[in-house]
């Protein structure tokens, strides 16, 4: 038994007689984005590509033996306005076959650009803000300060 690429199994939990499909598919993503963060279970590898220090921009890719599922960062409000939890939301799923060659990198870059486009400047403070942290064109902080919104 051998262990897969150490980027994909740093704790050496998933030994096999050869590379699994999920590992080969994930290695393609890591070859394109070597600084991405990897989280792993036996059958799914989650790869987080952050393009900002807060993790609000970028893309999360769930890699399986058959497909790449692209997900965008978001915040899930678990207890109303006082329960923010980092999460992701579905963007698209592409079979491995449809992501051959340069198509995989193009899909990932398109997903990152789509997330970036969701950030618009707050009408009051000008801070680029994602939809889950604003009311229309006003960030939550300015909505409280200028519009009387109570969270």
Q: pLDDT (tens digit, 9 = 90+) per residue, 69-105?
A: 999 999 998 877 678 899 999 999 999 999 999 999 9
pLDDT per residue as tens digits for the range 42-63: 999 999 999 999 899 999 999 9
The gap between the terminal CA atoms of the chain, to the nearest Å, is 55
55: left (phi over 0), alpha (psi -120 to 50) or beta: left
List the chain domain ranges. Answer: 1-118, 119-151
Structure tokens at 141: 């902080």
Contacts of residue 80, defined as CB under 8 A and 6 or more positions apart, other chains included, come to 151
């Amino acid at each position: 038994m051998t262990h897969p690429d150490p980027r994909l199994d740093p704790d050496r939990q998933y030994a096999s007689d050869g590379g699994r499909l999920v590992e080969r598919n994930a290695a393609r993503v890591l070859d394109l984005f070597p600084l991405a963060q990897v989280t792993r279970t036996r059958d799914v590898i989650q790869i987080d590509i952050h393009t900002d220090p807060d993790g609000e921009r970028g893309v999360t890719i769930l890699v399986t033996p058959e497909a790449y599922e692209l997900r965008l960062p978001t915040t899930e409000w678990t207890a109303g306005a006082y329960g923010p939890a980092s999460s992701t939301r579905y963007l698209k799923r592409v079979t491995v076959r449809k992501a051959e060659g340069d198509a995989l990198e193009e899909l990932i870059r398109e997903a990152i650009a789509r997330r970036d486009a969701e950030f618009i400047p707050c009408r009051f403070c000008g801070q680029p803000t994602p939809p889950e942290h604003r009311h229309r064109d006003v960030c939550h902080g300015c909505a409280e300060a200028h519009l009387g919104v109570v969270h």
